[in-house]
Structure 1
Amino acid sequence: MSLLANDAHYVDDLTAIKQNGRYRQRVFTQIHDKFIHICQHALINFSGNDYLGLSQHVEVKKKAQQAIDRYGVGSTSSAIVSGSHYLIESLEHDMAAFVDYPRALLFNSGYHANLAVMSLIGKNAQTVVADKLVHASILDGIALSGAKLKRYPHQNIDSLYATLQKHPEAKYVISEGIFSMDGDISPLARLGNMGLAKLIVDDAHGFGVLGQSGRGAVNHAGLTFEGVPIMIVPCGKALGAMGALVCASEEFIELLIQTARSYIYSTALAIPVVAALNASLKLVMKGDCLRDKLFENIAFFNQYAQKLGLHVVSHDLTPIRSIIIGDNKRTQNIQSMLKDKGFYVSCIRPPTVPQDSARLRISLTALHDTDDIKALLDQLVYVL
């Protein structure tokens, strides 16, 4: 079949992506416990963000199955038409109470939530300031709002202060709780106490991991709703499912319900997923045994990697480990060698990370044991 004449540039674009080592292939998988099945091969999964293993927890799966039997699969409409449900209300209420915010609102994904929040705050701010490495959905939401975006070098507080002094009209500073590629914790206490702008935190990788009983990076920093008036908690990481909860004031949440296009014009999240999220949140609130196991794995990884002399970019308290390779194709080759040995590790390349910083990104979870981690690190020494 011949290409349409005006599609020729798409071929050129694809060719350039492949030549630069940036071509991404979808991986069709089946996940069970700590394993990911790819092409009928079971690999130990070090690529996902299921930090507490809740996507595989028997109670979480049971609640989703019960919800299918009782309510069916889809919600069938937008939340403001007829797609909302008492399980959604229960999740929102419990989350708000757990993190001590006035109210929470459930979105279909972190992307939906960030588009909504950034579009709304951008309309009322001439300038929005954000860390250089915030998530793409935050940048897209700001762009949609029409606000001016000023980005400060990653974690550079002095540069942020200078930017805010230069742009006194800026009302908001945006950061993440834990940054997803290097696993570094944002200095939220310093950001929240700066007093020159309101702080918004996307805590995708912090909630369930940091803070008292897993309340997240905001709690870990000793901050509250007064210091961080808007917190976004995506549910596809430690909560093991999908969706996102925006935690904020009564008025801000109500305005999102009335105006946020990604909320109004999306079919509400499937009720079995919401049932699973309710179960996951209750398990997080219930105790720290899963977090204890996660931190045990993090500590072992750090100690053994140091013993082997591996240079790993990480933070002692977070489950994200990165090994910077630099060259795109070499990073892909190393990932392939690890797959051949039974390990699946993420291969992260630009534009997700800066040019010449392609990396192996390793995610630790409560599902792993020390033997898994030791075997992976021994193999990394061999392939590097």
Structure 2
Amino acid sequence: MASALRRLGSAAARRGLSTACEDTKKSLFQLPQAGGKSSNLCSAINQALHIALESDPRSYLFGEDVSFGGVFRCTTGLADRYGKSRVFNTPLCEQGIVGFGIGLAAMGNRAIAEIQFADYIFPAFDQIVNEASKFRYRSGNQFNCGGLTIRAPYGAVGHGGHYHSQSPEAFFCHVPGIKVVIPRSPRQAKGLLLSCIRDPNPVVFFEPKWLYRQAIEEVPEEDYMLPLSEAEVIREGSDITVVGWGAQLSIMEQACAGAEKEGISCELIDLKTLIPWDKETVEASVRKTGRLLISHEAPVTGGFGAEISASIVERCFLRLEAPVARICGLDTPFPLVFEPFYMPTKNKILDAIKATVNY
């Protein structure tokens, strides 16, 4: 592996990556113009990877079955176009995939590592938590692996059961030195993934596999990036703030629409980046509405919703008119037959919205 790294890195000049995004191409940090080609989330991911590989010869994409297109076909056509020296399969060894990516990024390359399912990211946990996240810190910024992006499909898929449906984002939100990003739609996925790949810090990018084929919208074909750590107010309201990320946003939008029919005005916020998350946007909204509801697929205990709740209570205690509500997954392994009972549904969220407003 060491000799392979030397061959791959020999042609690339060593990069000095800063700890902030300011060194990234600022001109690309803008919301895309209206219009574009109708694409699903899978195609949007594929477009982003095409652009990343084409725009930077130091970019490499690798993982289990990646050169064949991957389980979800997100990498289809990439090996044919950019060659199997830049898009290649790896052994079934997540620890090795991430470890290889750390070394590749440390030599000045852009390493895009794919974990086939987020449920199988745990064998690589040591490499992510003890190596990638601390690489810059341990050297006093003399060297880093900031060019590493780890992609992983996460969350419910309708039939995955306890080994193919987990939402492990909260584990990584406890780790200083990495960023955690989750898109909600095709347009967001393309812009955020390109930002992650070009960010000067290691990033874990979770893709909501439930939306790979179901979420469709117009996606600009050009190269664009969306800023990290900036939450987006999708729907403005005055009675309650509703916060989520990823696939859960579509469920929350339905609940907010249902609440509107009953005279309740909901302000819906997509966090997008969990670490570091945009506290200011959420705080400003809660100061206006006086109420907060958080929803995510992961189990409620220790989920990232708990961190949001604690932070907002500290910042907005005197403005809150009701306890913070959390509508999340259950504290059980992800079930197969009983998935409908496990998931935070539209009706569960709508009931919680009404209960919080009427508290």
**TM-score for both structures, normalised by structure 2:** 0.30
**TM-score for both structures, normalised by structure 1:** 0.29
Structure whose alpha-carbon radius of gyration is higher: 1
Task: Name the structure, 1 or 2, with higher relative contact order (CA <8 Å, separation 6+).
Answer: 1
